[in-house]
């Protein structure tokens, strides 16, 4: 591998740009190829960031011998197939959450990672947000034990628009995307999930997905989690976490953390950045350079997708 780690990034939309911004803060890293669905828009993003190679086909980027690794910020339904293609081409890969929209797809990528030995990581960003890292360190030190997590994931998305307010070419999913964040985080903080139950509201006639969902989880430690998700919520938007434990209560709002009395906790010294996406990318780069398994590896997050599969089976049985 060259001294400078050279990356291809697939997906020139809102999340792709967030990754490019984060990568610019990491020494010895260069994005050399950008893949996008619309060539003109992709060229605009590439020009802004000085990315020389632009294409609409991931295969074109994988054919470049100088590319060491790939970050996939493409539609959910493409993740498993594209992740496998990257590994088959000998490229390390980071797949934005979710790893796949089916357990079979997730297991296919995991099997290929084991075969190739390459770094394969999934963008479970909550593992990297300083707020959740701060709580995790207290857990690891034996200073805090989760008794309950209460999580709300709320958006107003009754039409198929992305985070920038632009039309999407694919449909988002509460279970396989947004619930994946919390299912994995709960297991990371409280232990493996041993029980899981779900309910969903009506299926949207145009989008073909449930717009409201409720999930309950229990870990092997006895901790429980209640997760509420909605695309019908007209503000406030985002994901809000309440950790209830034996020695305190903490409220996490993305990269910010508060006590149960709404006193802000300084998490600025937890990591070198307050940007969870940048920290996620730093872990990906470090794992490649150090030849080790990253936090958030495909192997580590695979139990999350097994839980999602169980929940999907429950929901389908209830239809």
Confidence (pLDDT) at 184 = 98
Q: Which strands form 224-230's sheet, in the order they lie side by side?
A: 193-200, 212-219, 224-230, 146-154, 238-245, 249-253, 256-259, 264-265
Which residues of the chain fall short of a pLDDT of 50?
1
Nearest C-alpha neighbor of 150 from the set 195, 185, 192: 185
Confidence (pLDDT) at 295 = 98
Angle at 184 between CA 182 and CA 185, to 5 degrees: 60
Question: In angstroms, rounded to a whole number, what is the distance separating the alpha carbons of residues 106 and 303?
Answer: 10
Q: Can you list the domains of the chain with their CATH numbers?
A: 5-125+276-297 (3.40.50.720), 126-263+306-318 (3.30.360.10)
- The one-character DSSP state at 125 is G
Confidence (pLDDT) at 2 = 53
Question: In angstroms, rounded to a whole number, what is the distance separating the alpha carbons of residues 26 and 290?
Answer: 15
Structure tokens, 217? 């989880």
Confidence (pLDDT) at 237 = 87
CA 161 → CA 42, 158, 168, 231, distances in Å? Answer: 18, 8, 5, 11
Confidence (pLDDT) at 169 = 60
R_g (Cα) of the chain, nearest Å: 19
Q: 31-53 pLDDT, tens per residue?
A: 999 999 999 999 999 999 999 99
Confidence (pLDDT) at 255 = 82
Confidence (pLDDT) at 168 = 57
Nearest C-alpha neighbor of 91 from the set 82, 102, 80: 82
Buried b (16+ CB within 10 A) or exposed e, 87-120: bebebbbbbbbbbbbbbebbbbbbebbeebebbb
- In three-state secondary structure terms, 270 is coil
Say which residue the tokens 């919520």 belong to.
Answer: 233
Please report how many Cα atoms fall inside a 13 Å half-sphere around the Cα of residue 280, on the Cβ side.
29
């Amino acid at each position: 591998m060259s001294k400078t780690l050279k990356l291809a990034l697939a997906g020139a939309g809102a999340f792709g740009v967030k990754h490019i911004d984060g990568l610019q803060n990491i020494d010895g890293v260069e994005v050399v190829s950008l893949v996008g669905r619309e060539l003109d828009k992709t060229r605009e993003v590439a020009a802004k960031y000085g990315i020389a190679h632009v294409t609409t086909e991931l295969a074109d980027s994988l054919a470049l011998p100088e590319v060491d690794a790939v970050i996939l910020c493409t539609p959910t339904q493409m993740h498993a197939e594209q992740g496998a293609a990257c590994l088959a081409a000998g490229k390390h890969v980071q797949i934005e959450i979710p790893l796949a929209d089916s357990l079979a797809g997730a297991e296919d990528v995991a099997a290929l990672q084991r075969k190739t030995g390459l770094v394969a990581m999934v963008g479970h960003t909550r593992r990297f947000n300083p707020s959740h890292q701060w709580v995790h360190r207290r857990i690891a030190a034996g200073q805090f034990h989760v008794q309950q997590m209460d999580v709300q994931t709320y958006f107003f998305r009754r039409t198929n628009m992305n985070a920038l307010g632009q039309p999407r070419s694919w449909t988002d999913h509460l279970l396989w995307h947004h619930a994946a964040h919390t299912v994995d985080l709960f297991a990371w903080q409280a232990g493996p999930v041993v029980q899981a139950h779900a309910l969903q509201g009506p299926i949207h006639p145009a989008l073909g997905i449930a717009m409201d969902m409720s999930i309950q989880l229990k870990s092997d430690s006895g901790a429980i989690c209640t997760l509420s998700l909605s695309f019908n919520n007209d503000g406030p938007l985002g994901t809000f976490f309440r950790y209830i434990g034996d020695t305190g209560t903490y409220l996490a709002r993305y990269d910010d953390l508060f006590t149960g009395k709404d006193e802000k906790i300084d998490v600025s010294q937890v990591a070198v950045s307050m940007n969870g996406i940048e920290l996620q990318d730093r872990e990906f780069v470090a794992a490649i350079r150090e030849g080790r398994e990253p936090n958030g590896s495909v192997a580590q997050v695979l139990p999350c997708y097994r839980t999602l599969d169980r929940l999907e089976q429950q929901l389908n049985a209830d239809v």
